[in-house]
Amino acid sequence: MFEFCADPSSLDGVRWFSCYLTNGVHMLFYQSFLTVFTLLAIAAPLSLAFGFAAATASRARFLPARILGKGYTSMVRGVPDIVFFLFFVLVLDQGIEFIRHSITCPDWDQPIRQGANFLVCDAARTPQGNAPQWVHEGYNFGLAIFTYAIVFGAFCGNVLYGAMGAVPKPQIETAAAYGMSQRQVFWRVVVPQMWVYALPGLSNIWMILIKATPLLFLLGIEDIVYWAREIGGSRNSRFAYPHPDWRFWYFLGLLVFYLGFTRVSEIVLARVTRRLTRGQATAGGEAMRKAAT
For 239-249, write each residue's pLDDT tens digit: 778 888 889 99
Q: Across residues 98-108, what is the average pLDDT? A: 85
Q: Are 39 and 144 in contact (CB under 8 A)?
A: yes
CA dist 72 and 160 (Å) reads: 14
Q: In the chain, how long is the greatest CA-to-CA distance?
A: 83
pLDDT of residue 171: 85
CA distance 102 to 110: 12
Looking at per-residue confidence, does 163 or 114 come out higher?
Answer: 163
* End-to-end alpha carbon distance in the chain: 59
**Has residue 187 got a pLDDT over 60?**
yes
CATH 2.60.40.10 describes domain 34-222? no
Residues 134 and 140: beta-carbon distance below 8 Å: no
Per-residue pLDDT tens digits for 8-21: 777 677 888 888 88
CA atoms within 13 A on the CB side of 286: 3
Helices (H), the chain: 13-20, 24-58, 63-77, 81-104, 133-166, 169-177, 182-185, 191-212, 224-232, 247-277, 283-292
Q: What is the pLDDT of residue 2?
A: 66
* Model pLDDT for residues 171-186, shown as the tens digit of each residue: 888 888 888 888 888 8
114 has which bridge partners?
Answer: 117
Which amino acid, one-letter code, is at 45? P
Range in 26-30, 46-50, 59-63, 219-223 the model is least confident about:
219-223
**How many CA atoms are closer than 13 Å to the CA of 110, on its beta-carbon side?**
10
Identify the CA nearest to 7 among candidates 222, 240, 197, 258. 240
Percent of the chain at pLDDT above 70?
93
Other C-beta atoms closer than 10 Å to the C-beta of 107 total 5
Q: Are 202 and 158 in contact (CB under 8 A)?
A: no
For 202-244, what is each residue's pLDDT tens digit?
999 999 999 888 888 777 788 898 899 889 888 877 777 888 8
Residue 267 has pLDDT above 50, yes or no: yes
Burial (CB < 10 A; 0-12, 13-18, 19+), residue 68, is middle
Output b/e per residue, 137-151; b: 16+ Cβ within 10 A. eeebbebbbbbbbbb
For the ranges 9-23, 51-65, 158-172, 213-227, which has the lowest average pLDDT?
A: 9-23
Q: Phi/psi at 245 (nearest 5 deg)?
A: -70, 115
Q: pTM above the 0.75 mark? A: yes
Average pLDDT across the chain, whole number = 85
pLDDT at position 286 is 47
Question: In the prediction, which pLDDT does 3 show?
Answer: 66
pLDDT for the residue 281: 54
Q: Where are the domains of the chain?
A: 34-222, 223-293
Q: Alpha-carbon Rg of the chain, whole angstroms?
A: 25
- Residue 66: pLDDT over 80: yes
Residue 118 DSSP SS3: strand
- The answer to whether 273 and 199 are in contact (CB under 8 A) is yes
Q: What is the predicted pLDDT for the residue at 289? A: 46
> How far is it, in rounded angstroms, from Cα 198 to Cα 102?
43
